[in-house]
Every structure is written in structure tokens, then in C-alpha cells.
Structure 1
């Protein structure tokens, strides 16, 4: 990493010399050779800029470039539109269809409560026996599986059996669509529905509560996890790191399972999936708690996570704080609690959400600095990183990548036109990064292809090429928490899939 950093510094120094020479000679006609050399230097700095492409890869790259040029000339350019309006356009895109086939490596930032398509949740889970629904006074819904009608609770004055509701309606299709609307942020007019970040985040958190009642039912939890792995695998993903709160699961008879049961289930279902899909590398969990908790609660959660990591080292990757950064306590507030690994003299990894904000200069904005001071392994979102040159350089020097989630950042109203996403600067500078999907259920997506499209066509623009895609996919394995042996195996499997992808998609 030191060597690569010195190369970047040397390249930057060369560019400065060239620019100085250009300015010095500005009275004369600019030298075309000098101009071309500077363009080449810039291209070499970007993500994928030093990836050497084979003849076959160059051929596919040329084809992709032409396709992208055509899409950028279209009247409705998807990255410039809100994703909810752009989705249908993206799905018709030849570039998107190619990206769906592309082996993407791993997804490293995705939440356990938003792992599968909303269609599966409604058409599969809500059709199961004993599923009750409550329409809350806040305009949201809650679900619960129960052998008998649940008692009223705060916000839920009455529960209805979904089976009976469906039997009483004359239009089941419309009824099911209304359920889907309660489990996703997707809407035809997002600007009206979500006029500001506060509104969209409130709805965002309501949906997580609604989904929780479905997926924490133990029989559903097993099927849900397998289906989540299948949907990622179908999108050509071979490994994932899942942020999970390890919520307690329940049975129809009222039995409550603890976190250890959940961990064992994650392990068992993953192994079962691998038997059916031998080229799937596996799953690791980043344990999470909400950032609204008290200092003492977070410290205990870290200590508990360290104990679980010792018991399940093959499946526990580390720890993170989740929830809206703008509405929660900053990382610096929790610095004492997060020092627990040092106190216990043990190595333990953090993967902090940091900088998922546009509030420049606030304590929340400084989470990107504090994440590095607390030795985070990766930076979740890092939207604010471009405003912090010292932190950005430290992140680069340490090789700490940013987990860029384009669609999430747009839907949660950090950026409207993805061509203006701060990651465009990071990508142009060759900053360490990976692409992720964050909460696909809530955004009406599955897998990672939609985010790859937005990053490749919108954030990267015409400068992004096949080398960019190749490096981003390789980064997802390189920056994962996998031990070296499994990284090597994942890389070998990915390379084989990549070569097949190239040869099958040549124009």
C-alpha cells in the first residue's frame, strides 16, 4: 500500500510539473502532445485506470463505450432522474442488461432486514397461515404470526388475519400491491411523497419495523435468508457481508430464540446454500446496534460482539452503529464505549457508517474523521468524505475503502442528480472504494446491478470503462473481511466467471 501511495504521489507531482509548464507556455499555442500526456495521466489515476485489458476486454470495452454514449444522449438520462422514475428506463438499457450478467464479486454493505425483493415478502410470506396485520394510527402497518388473534398494543388497536382480509376483498391484486407499497419507499412521485430528508427517513424506519414482524418469525427467517442468498447469487454475487442486529426470533407457540440461535441459523443456512451452489463463498455478519442507544448499552454491545466473534470467528466480521447519522449521536460521543477492544487487549474490527450526511461542518459530518481515529476497516457511505481533504488522504494512505451506495444516497435525499455524487471525485482520484446496495427491499431492487449501473453510467460518466468495472468487482473481494485463503479462492472463482462473461458478451 505504501508503494502504491508513493506512485500516486509521484504521478500527482508529475502532473503539477506538466501543468506548470503548460501555464508557463500559455502565450504560445498549446502543445497537443503535452495535452494528451496530461489526459493520459488523469485517466491512469481513476478507479480502474491502471487495469490492463486484454484484446477481448478492449473489444467489449469499446462496445460498452458506444452503448453508454447513446444512453447519455437520451432525453431521459436515468442517473439525472430520481431512481423511482429511472428504474423502468434502466431496465430497458443494454448497458444494464450487460451489467446484470457481469460477475460483481461481493456486496459488503447490505442490511439483514432489506435483503430480498418486496414481491417475495408479500407473495410468499404474507400468504402463510397465521399471519396477522395491523394498520397503525401512524399510517403504517405491522405484522405478526400468531396462533390466535394478538392482543392490542401501542399503536395497534386491532389485528386482522390476512387470510380473512384477502377472502373479503374483490381485488386481491390491488390488495397485494397496497401491501407492497407499505414495505417499500417506491412511489410514482417521490418528490411529492418525500419533500425533505426527515419525511423519507421517518417512512424508512417505519418500513423496517413492518418487515421485522415478518422476518423474525423463525420459519420465515430460515426461508428469508436462503431466498436473500439466492437473489444475490442470481445477480452474480459470490459473497456478502451482512449488517445484522441479531434480533430475537419467535415461534408460533411464543417461544423466543436468542442471538446464538440466530447466528447458528445464519451458519446453517449458508452452508446449506453452499451445498446447492458450490461456487458461493459464503456470508459474514457485521453486528449492529442503533446509534440512539446509551453509552453503557453500546459498550456492552461491543463486549458481547467480541465474545460472539470468539465463538463464531468464521461468521462474525465486526461491529457497526446504524440509524440516521443526522438524528443520532456522533461516533465521538461513543469513543469510550468503542475503546472496549483496546481495554480487553483484543483485535476486533469496526465497519462504521460515517459521513452519510450533507450537513457540512457538524459533529455528524466529522464522523468520517472519527471513524478513522477509531480504526474502522471500511467507511459506510462516506458521502461527506470529499469535504475533508486530510481525512480523505488518510483513508487513501491506510487503504480504507468507502462503501458507496448510490441509489440509497439519492432516495434518502443526499443528492438528486447522481452525476453530482461526491464519489465522482473519489472515482476520478482512484480512491479505494466498493459499490453496495444498502437496502434493496426498500428501494424496489434486488442484488447490485442497479447500483453498478448508476455508478458506471452516472457517477463515472464516459471516463468509466471496463477497467473501472473490473477493479470495483475485484475491490469487493480485496476489501472484504475474508481470511487470505478464502480471498484467494473467491478471486480465482471470480476470475473464471469474468473470463466467461467477457467471451460470451463480445459484440
Structure 2
């Protein structure tokens, strides 16, 4: 528990301690100031047991050692730092840590690219074509697909692979089309425009595989498995509920998608009783027209009414800097209030390093539209009013460190603006955004960057504990399921502490 002295410090006005003195400052004042700062940071008021304090001391020792290494992973591009992180003793602890829920992941990037290539592309009836812009497309079909604008010639992948002298090398080339990973990220992606172009293309490449109905069922199960292996017990997935197709070309609607998602989730929970479940945040691209978004909002209202246990709410996705602002869609986003219904929003907002633009204002507009959480919120620290509103309304920021770095918002994660938010104890959760594209799985890599890089030495086991609990606290789960989730997580946490003590 927090001591009586700490409680007093939390409530005694700061100025009372800062009395003007004629000479040297009073050391007791300095102690009080340092304690007040420590109490404000994320996890600062989390009471640790004796066993937790022991692990906390061990983690601090490891962190101090890593900070003195010649190569400090958070200061490097993730693609260059990944192998270093994998060898980190801190990372090994984080992999074992129960992390609660993943609240910000997009559906077409949930599963590792390796699984898509080494499992899905080896299935029968999988065709491939090579586009004029040196990309690829996939399609499942009982016969050779007709030529398309970007695909003049489709080849049966099974036949093409048989002609390859080195199938493993060919598979690796396919993986490269599904991820951004490269040995030279600075050289290959010199600007945000270039990295975003490749980023958006990975979704198109993956779409032909994932949208095949039989694949999608296996894909979601595999996605839940990859999360579960990283000690994650709950998922909120951003998805456009894309049309899926059968081998004969039949197209399934959004209801099929939702029912399939629910069935797969139920099956996974049956197979893994320590997994709580998954929900969908219905999402459409912010590049669409006002009328299209109006229709999508109306559709989201109906889908949530029909599937209240699955559909958590609505979001606009896609690159903010090149897309339309939230305010542009005011008429569409005001529809639920006009119709007298509730549709929770989970807006991407402030995923930009530009100040004073329409994109930059999205963090304010997201709050005006009563967003439940803020996706990324990179620009939030530049908006003191929005930051205060977010805090007072308990609107959590979904922090995705690796995404922000790879998409060139920040190079050295020690300089991420979330460091300010963490020092103030701002509502926050950690997530991975598009793990397959960034060559990660689960949340452990992002937790590492947040804990070691953004949080620095101030971040401790209490920080990790609060961030994990936050993923339940700020989830879309109803109260009774949150209580169940807390109990499940606490049991896992206690076992985690016991195993490492």
C-alpha cells in the first residue's frame, strides 16, 4: 500500500513546500518534489509486494546495463534493433508477462507474414501474378483467373514454385512483399510518403490470401494463437469486415464475416480457457467520401445492434496526413446522436508530426465526438487542452511505439512524445498496430520499446503492471466481463511473479 507520508505528499499543495529561502534549498523539499513526480508517472501509485519489488530491482539492474551498451535498441530503427531486443533479458521477462489485451491491431496484419507464405500459399488453387509496378497479387480459383488491369497473367503458384531452384529463397521474396522489414530502412524508406506507399501495398498483397473464406477462418485462429503465445488474453480488432470469397467466386457479406469471427473466437476459447475473447471495431478508410462514411456509420449502428457482443464501435483508418479530417466527416459522425443511439468511437487521431494542420486538429475533434480511446495520439502533447480533456474524461491513448518509428514519426524512441504522457500518468495502453508488417508478433516488442526506451529508468514494474491492467480498464468490455478479465489476469500475474521470484 502507499504509505501515509506518500498520501500526504499527494495532497499537500506543491507551493507550500517551495518556500523562498535565503541560501541552499532545503533537501527535504527536493525529496518531496522527487516523490511527487514519481507518484504522478504511469505506475507511480501501484503498490508492489515484496516479490514484485525483488523483480523490479532485477529489471532496473538489467535496464541500467542495457542503457550503457554501445548499441541501445530504442535509439535504433526497430529493424536493426530487433535481433538485439530478442537477446535482451528484459525482453525475455516481458514475453512471460501477462499483458492483458491488445486493443489496437488491424485485421489484415494480425498474423505473421511467414505463416501466410509458408502455410497459405502452399494450399491448392492459389494463383499469383506479378504487377507492372513490381508487386504481386494472390487469388484462389478453380481455374486461371481472368486478366485484370494490374494483372495480365496469373500463374498457379504450385507450378511456379516447382520451377524455382531455391523455393526457400522464393518464399522469402514473397514475405518481403508482405512486410516493411529491410536491412536498410533509412535508405529504402527515405520519406514518410515512400514508406506509407509500401505499407499500404502490403494490405493489398495480403488481401487476396486473407479474403479467401476458408483461409480467413484459419487466419483468425492463428492470429489468436500468436497473441495467446505472447501471454495476451483479449483482442479488439480494427476491421472493415471485408467481403470474402469462396473458391467458386461466391462473395460473402459482412454478416458472414462477423459470424465466422464469433465462431472462431468461441472455438479458440474452448481450446484455451484462459483466453477471454475478441471483439471488432468496424472501420472504414478516411479517404472515402462523406456519403460513403455516412452509409458506413449507419451500417455500424445496425451491425452493433445485431451483434452487440462482437461489434465494439467504429473508427476511421488510413493515413491521416493524406486523408480527410474528422471534422470533414462531421455530418456522418453526428448521425448516432441525431438518431438517438449510441455508437462508441475509437478514433485514430494525431498520428502525425505536422503541427497546425487539419490532421493535427484531429485529436481535438476526436474528443468533441466523444471518442472512447485515441489511436496513436502522437500529436496530443502539442494540444494542452485536448490532453487535459483526455485525462479528465479518462480517454486512453493507444500507444504503438514501433509503428510510430517505422512510419517515420520518430527515429529515437527516447524522444517519443509519449514519454511526457507517461511521466504524467496519462491514461494509456500499449499495442502493436500492424505486427505482421513490422515483423513482430503479439505485444512484447512494443512493451519493450515503451518500457526501456520511452519510459526510461523511471518506468518500473509498477508501470508494466498498470499498463497491463489499463488494457482491461479501457477496453470496450461490459463491466461484468471486465471483472472476469481482472480476475483472470491477476491469477496469471501472480503466477508470473511467483515463477520469477
TM-score w.r.t. structure 2 length? 0.97
- Identify which of 280, 283, 287 aligns with 2:282: 287
For residues 338 and 405 of structure 1, the distance between their equivalents in structure 2, rounded to whole angstroms, comes to 25
Aligned position for 1:14: 13
Aligned position for 1:3: none
For residues 62 and 217 of structure 1, the distance between their equivalents in structure 2, rounded to whole angstroms, comes to 49
Aligned position for 2:140: 145
Deviations 1:452-492 (A, max 9, x none): 00000000000000000000000000000001111000000
Deviations 1:426-462 (A, max 9, x none): 0000000000000001000000000000000000000
For residues 374 and 349 of structure 2, the distance between their equivalents in structure 1, rounded to whole angstroms, comes to 6
For residues 214 and 86 of structure 1, the distance between their equivalents in structure 2, rounded to whole angstroms, comes to 30
For residues 76 and 452 of structure 1, the distance between their equivalents in structure 2, rounded to whole angstroms, comes to 19
- 1:329 and 2:328 correspond: no
- 1:83 and 2:72 correspond: no
Deviations 1:390-409 (A, max 9, x none): 10001000000000000000
For residues 136 and 405 of structure 1, the distance between their equivalents in structure 2, rounded to whole angstroms, comes to 32
Aligned position for 1:466: 461
In structure 2, the CA distance between the partners of 1:181 and 1:13, relative to structure 1 (3 Å rule), is: farther
The alignment's C-alpha RMSD in Å is: 1.3
Residues 384-423 of structure 1 aligned to structure 2 (within 5 Å): 384-423=379-418
Aligned position for 2:204: 209
In structure 2, the CA distance between the partners of 1:175 and 1:55, relative to structure 1 (3 Å rule), is: same
Aligned position for 2:358: 363
For residues 139 and 35 of structure 1, the distance between their equivalents in structure 2, rounded to whole angstroms, comes to 61
Superposition deviation, residue 12 in structure 1: 8.6
DSSP 3-state at the match of 2:446: helix
Residues 268-347 of structure 1 aligned to structure 2 (within 5 Å): 268-347=263-342
In structure 2, the CA distance between the partners of 1:147 and 1:338, relative to structure 1 (3 Å rule), is: same
Counting matched residue pairs gives: 495
For residues 254 and 133 of structure 2, the distance between their equivalents in structure 1, rounded to whole angstroms, comes to 30
For residues 16 and 133 of structure 1, the distance between their equivalents in structure 2, rounded to whole angstroms, comes to 69
Aligned position for 1:497: 492
For residues 413 and 348 of structure 1, the distance between their equivalents in structure 2, rounded to whole angstroms, comes to 32
Where does the alignment leave 5 or more consecutive residues of structure 2 unmatched?
A: 1-5
Aligned position for 1:178: 173
For residues 175 and 460 of structure 1, the distance between their equivalents in structure 2, rounded to whole angstroms, comes to 40
Superposition deviation, residue 294 in structure 1: 0.8
DSSP 3-state at the match of 1:283: strand
DSSP 3-state at the match of 1:477: helix
Aligned position for 2:3: none
For residues 292 and 13 of structure 1, the distance between their equivalents in structure 2, rounded to whole angstroms, comes to 50
Aligned position for 1:241: 236
Residues 69-108 of structure 1 aligned to structure 2 (within 5 Å): 69-108=64-103
Superposition deviation, residue 17 in structure 1: 4.2
Superposition deviation, residue 270 in structure 1: 0.4
Aligned position for 1:226: 221
Superposition deviation, residue 118 in structure 1: 1.0
